[in-house]
Amino acid sequence: MRLTQADASFLYTESASGPMHISSVYVLEGELAFEKVFEHFQSRLHLVPSYRRKLAHVPLNIAHPEWVDDPEFDLANHVFSHKVPAGSTLQQGVDAAIELNEPILDRSRPLWKVYVIEGVPDRTLILQMTHHAMIDGASGIELTTVLYDFDAKGANVEPPPAKPWVAAPVPSAFERFNTALQENLSRSSLSDAFSAASRIPASQQAL
């Protein structure tokens, strides 16, 4: 799945001083053990397939990168535990989240990361980092609804498939280049056709 111009622009303009991921801190009621949150995310991954996809660049950069399944995907590379001193205030928990926020996400992996912050009485804080190239406003809201619904009954949630997830084969560099080249040629031909049509006199177009 190729990135759109808008989504790719978030990658091209990103820098250490200008990161392009969205960071949010969710404050949940109650103290949830890290293991429970980890298992919860594991049980919802099938509902957010983009979370298992990483970037694949096109040789010579003749087209925007595309999303491909990460054959080495491991949830443990994306969901981490962080403990603040027991009895910490909510503000101290938020301060810890701010310190954990990273300047740039690792582009060799799916562009998201989560920290589960424990130690604040009667609260669990979750720092969520997701690259803007992956989500827009609408999909971000949907993602939040899916991932942060900790309803014990899991009402109205599609259960994980019976068969374990298997990554689709990643196209080779040659395949990615060839596909992008064909897309470019197709767009060029279509553009030429529209350009030629625009030069036809209106009287002839009516015929």
How far from 128 is each of 59, 143, 148, 179, 206, CA to CA, in Å? 32, 11, 11, 34, 57
Q: Which of 21, 78, 131, 132 is catalytic?
A: 132
Dihedral of CA atoms 1, 166, 49, 149 in degrees, nearest 10, equals 180
- Whether 149 contacts 157, CB under 8 Å: yes
- Which residues, in sequence order, are CB contacts of 73 under 8 Å at separation 6+? 52, 109, 110, 167
* Whether 46 is catalytic: no
List the catalytic residues. Answer: 132
